[in-house]
A and B are shown apart, each in its own frame.
Chain A
Amino acid sequence: MAQVTLRNLVKDYDQTPAVRGIDLDIADKEFVVLVGPSGCGKTTTLRMIAGLEDITGGEILIGGDVVNDVPPKDRDIAMVFQNYALYPHMTVHENMSFGLRLKKLPKDEIRRRVAAVAGILGIGELLDRKPKQLSGGQRQRVAMGRAIVRNPKVFLFDEPLSNLDAKLRVHMRTEIKKVHQKVRTTTVYVTHDQVEAMTLADRVVVMNAGLIEQAGAPNDLYHSPATLFVAGFIGSPAMNITGCALEEAAGALRVRLDGQVSFPVPAERTARYRAYAGQRRLLFGLRPEHLTEMRPHSVANQCPVEVTPEVTEPMGMETLVFFSVNGTEMCARTNPAANTQPGVRTQLLADLNHMHLIDEASGRVL
């Protein structure tokens, strides 16, 4: 049972700000992922929760108690490191039981707890091996086992999968999710991989330049990004974003990307956008899956657009089509059966129900 609360948390390294005041409430049993580009302060935040970094300002509460000056060993947390940090001279069993032995628990209880956790993680056969005799995935499991066996209030994960190859990473991602479903413990997980963030999190916290850009459920972040940064960071391939002008004619709004391409703004958004018509520098955003091959359409606000594809990338289940509008490369996800060819002028269908309008100066999504 533990909530984690960050209040106006600040960290400076020799005058250089790394974390510039973040507020976050993490509920008991919640799986929160901090995601952002390198240098955004996510790992620093995690290390401050762990007690491995002093904090410059603000407060950290674990289970309702301020732990600003509590050393790591008394915070009742467990951490899984990017490079596993297994003790090389100890067997798997000794690695996993190290914390319990320090607490001087009875031997048979230690044995029982290690065996139970090893069972959950499927490493029961490896208990007598040394870390160097294990593969990357096995080491990762042992590192997780060492954390779980202590039954802490909070799990902290610091990019635990980034040292694994792509296939194993996807596999371990599922494993971590399964483990969290079995061992429901409050978890803070740091990654730079937005796919990992989306798939694992109850709530994703996108960080940039030491601040929280947006926090929310994965799908909310994906469909309703609050800022330009989040819009561009979440989603792969990334959202198409290009400069645009908002024109008003006869009570209706049009988004103009360049001389040829312009779209009508859905009527229900007219009121929301009207104030921005014709004045500020605006950006238009539309995800690749909302730009498809031409097909019969009856839904409102779907609009054909004629483009010349420059490159096509067949992915099997879909074909990515790249073209330029207004000097910006755009991407569409099309049905392979449409057989779009590079250099051949073709019609695509834009679904403007999912468009975003972004104020370039403030970076806010309007």
Chain B
Amino acid sequence: MSASLRKERRSALVWSYVFLALFAVVFLTPPLYMFITSLKTSAEISSAKLPWWVFDPTLDNYSALLTSPAYLTFFRNSALVSVAVVAITMAISIPAAFSLSRMRFWGSGALATGVFLTYLIPETLLFIPLFKIFAFVQDWTGIELMNHWWILIVIFPTLTVPFCTWIMIGYFASIPKELDEAALIDGAGYLQVLTRIFLPVALPGVIAATIFAFTVSWADFLYPMAFATSIDQMVLPAGIVSTLIKGDVFNWGQIMTAALLGAAPPLVIYAFLMDYYIAGLTAGATKG
């Protein structure tokens, strides 16, 4: 009995490793290829040599990008947009999720569903209407909304707020009701219940939402492409494509380098927040 159980366990383990290895290969090959290409000169890239090996390694691509004012501007714009979007998203989503998950008020159920439905509308469907709205606003008020990097701070929350609210409703709803009742009886107001009980206990959910909001605003391509046209107003994804592809000339070495450097900040943030994300903080609140 125990022998067959051990065998069963072993085979389950073997298969897990097989699939994990498979996934690792599939997902790590593209970044590896980007890294290899980023170390090559344009001449080596276009020659027909083995693409998986660097014969004349060079850091020219890196130094060219890191001294290029345009690239550094993209980076700065992306960073400002993402940080602001995360802040705005959290400032709206956290209270929204708290009230929708805990306070029963007229229409709260419909509102929660509405938040989710909003998220289901694809962004590709929204950018033309948004374009029209901006043109309309400009006609009426004279305020130019198009072609400014900061307009993304206004636009991206339309993508991030519904989803982040939705994830956090789920996390908040999993907090036992007795916990906020205990806090209310202990003398806390709703705001204190939120800041001193809900946020610490639902930290994994808040972090998941933060990561999502950051990733969306860092990596989104369509809106920056549609709403910013001058080089100095662009963010990374649109900027790389606009400046490093000239007509039909693809500067592959720099494109790969730029993408790799651009992927670094989300990677660093994941690495830092993953521990919190995984740690189950709700254990021990109630019996179980």
Contact = CB atoms under 8 A, between A and B. Distances in A.
A134 B181 CA distance: 22
B187 A87 contact: no
A72 interface: yes
A85 interface: yes
A271 interface: no
A84 B178 CA distance: 8
The size class of the interface chain B forms with chain A is: 20 to 34
Contacts of B283: 88, 132
Interface string A72-86: 110001110111111
Interface in A149-181: 150, 163
Contact of A146 (B176, B186, B200, B288): B186
B281 interface: yes
B25 interface: no
A83 B284 CA distance: 10
A229 B58 CA distance: 90
Contacts of A103: 187
A98 interface: yes
Interface string A46-70: 0000111000000000000000000
Contacts of B176: 83, 85
Contacts of B273: none
A99 B285 contact: no
Given A79-B182, A81-B181, A102-B188, A87 B197 contact: yes
Contacts of A107: none
B284 A86 contact: yes
B179 interface: yes
Contacts, number: 83
A71 interface: yes
Contacts of A99: 186-187
Contacts of B187: 73, 99, 102-103
Interface residues of A, number: 32
A187 to B, nearest CB: 15
A48 to B, nearest CB: 13
Given A87-B183, A88-B282, A73 B188 contact: yes
A77 to B, nearest CB: 6
Contacts of A130: 284
A236 interface: no
A89 B185 contact: no
A21 interface: no
Contacts of B188: 73, 98, 102
A83 B176 CA distance: 9
Nearest to B180: A85
A131 B189 CA distance: 23
A136 interface: yes
Nearest to B197: A87
A338 to B, nearest CB: 44
Given A81-B178, A89-B201, A102-B192, A72 B287 contact: no
Contacts of A50: 181, 185
B59 interface: no
A88 B181 contact: no
B4 interface: no
B184 A81 contact: no
B284 A133 contact: yes
A136 B287 contact: yes
B186 A150 contact: yes
Contacts of B67: none
A137 B196 CA distance: 26
A131 B285 CA distance: 7
B113 interface: no
A84 B183 CA distance: 12
Contact of A72 (B184, B196, B288): B184
Interface string A95-110: 0001100110000000
Nearest 5 Cβ contacts at the A-B interface:
A132-B284, A83-B286, A85-B178, A99-B186, A88-B285
19 contacts: A51-B185, A73-B184, A73-B189, A81-B181, A83-B288, A85-B182, A87-B179, A87-B197, A87-B285, A88-B201, A88-B282, A89-B200, A89-B201, A98-B186, A98-B196, A102-B187, A103-B187, A136-B287, A146-B182
Interface of B: 176, 178-179, 181-189, 192, 196-197, 200-201, 281-288
